Amino acid sequence: MLRPSIIRALVTRQVLLFTRNPVRGFELFFWPVVQLLVWGFVSVYFQQQSAGEPVEKMATFLIGAIILWDALFRSQQGVAISFLEDVWTRNLLNIFAAPIRMSEYLAASFTVGLLRVLVTAVVLIIIAALAYSFDLFQFEWTLIAFYGNLMMFGWALGIISISMILRYGHAAESLAWAVPFMIQPFACVFYGVEVLPAWMQWISLAMPPAHIFEGMRGILAGDGIDPSRLLLATGLNVFYLAAAGFLFNHMLGLARERGLLVKAASS
């Protein structure tokens, strides 16, 4: 026979996990909101552009966006997942006890992210060419600038991810996958900045990916690239990388001071 008091106690336990840990509570709303924002704005963008752009052109916008977005996502994963693998294998304390500078650790993670991007890029380029007759190399020299900027921002997001994991522990591990999608509605991956409400446009233009994806659509539409967009994106990336590094140092110091590092590495 079911005992209501036991059931109530177990339910209370799960509820308290959400109410006392902001990261767990945040997950309840995060994915539905992001999905609604991204695909809602995609629908609005298609409605606005359907009269002026042929369907074929809109399809190239989506294919190019998917390939370039993967560069940001894989570079972020290279940093975040490399850190989590040290946590999962309980190797984190060994890393911090070894004579390894944090700059060297992060540089190695950046390299892993770069390798992830290169491997998946080759596969996506081949599939896009064979299945959709989409030539990624039509971007010419700007392709390097696009990839470079998206990877830099991905690295910054990766550093932010592991900073949050250092601070909040295992409850924040899901951020390793969620952080890129937090900024996706503002990155304007699949739609133009002009689709967003005015207050969201200001946030969007403060993020490097929005300028990269706007530049990509400009080239595919035959309008060319505005060099100022690339310069602005690069400058913003330098700022975000510096800010992420500052956050990481702060969280690492806090984790050492409160013993969070040992807890995360041994649990």
Whether residue 205 has pLDDT greater than 90: yes
> The whole model's pTM is what?
0.81
| pLDDT tens digits, one per residue of 134-184 | 888 888 889 999 999 999 999 999 999 998 888 877 777 878 888 888 899
How many Cα atoms occupy the beta-carbon half-sphere of 70 within 13 Å?
16
Residue 118 pLDDT class (50, 70, 90 cuts) = confident
Q: Map out the domains of the chain as residue ranges.
A: 50-266
Please state the rounded mean pLDDT for residues 14-43. 65
Handedness of CA 260, 171, 157, 90 (dihedral sign): positive
Nearest to 106 by CA among 184, 172, 158, 52: 158
Q: What is the pLDDT of residue 50?
A: 63
Residue 216 pLDDT class (50, 70, 90 cuts) = very high
Cβ contact 191:45 at 8 Å: yes
* Tokens 């892993």 -> residue: 112
Separation of alpha carbons 14 and 93, rounded Å: 30
